[in-house]
Amino acid sequence: MAPHIRTLARTGTGTEDEYDEIADATILPQELSANTAADILSGDHVRTLLGSHHDLELLEIEVAAGAPVAGRTLGEISLPKGSLVISDRNRTQIARAETALEPGEFYIVGVEPDVVDEVLNLFRG
């Protein structure tokens, strides 16, 4: 009925496969956290690797077409203080000034909680 709305099922038993017809994703209570739920419901463009219960968040972020950083190198952009692109798009080496942020590619980014929104705006537009 509304394909842009995602559903999340929480169950204490069973497997994800049991709910495939009625939910986009299934989680068990012991796996549930605010970041996990937000990641699942927001789609596949941003995934939290280390959440905000720490002083640092590690995110895997897809660069959106038309985002302010899309197609530019790290040397050409100014990320906010408290953020750092950690890996290149293949996650095979540390990001450098010449690392280009390509639309549709994912990068690992470390961010302090107070600059998360600003970094997401740069990567997602």
Tokens 């280390």 belong to which residue?
Answer: 50
The chain-wide mean pLDDT, for the chain, equals 78
Which among 109, 101, 93 has a CA at the least distance from the CA of 77?
A: 101
pTM score: 0.60
Model confidence pLDDT, tens digit, residues 60-97: 889 999 999 999 999 999 999 999 998 877 778 899 99
* Architecture of domain 44-125 in this structure: 2-Layer Sandwich (3.30)
Q: Domain extents for the chain?
A: 1-43, 44-125
Query: Could you tell me whether strands 100-101 and 72-73 are parallel, antiparallel, or unpaired per DSSP bridges?
Result: antiparallel
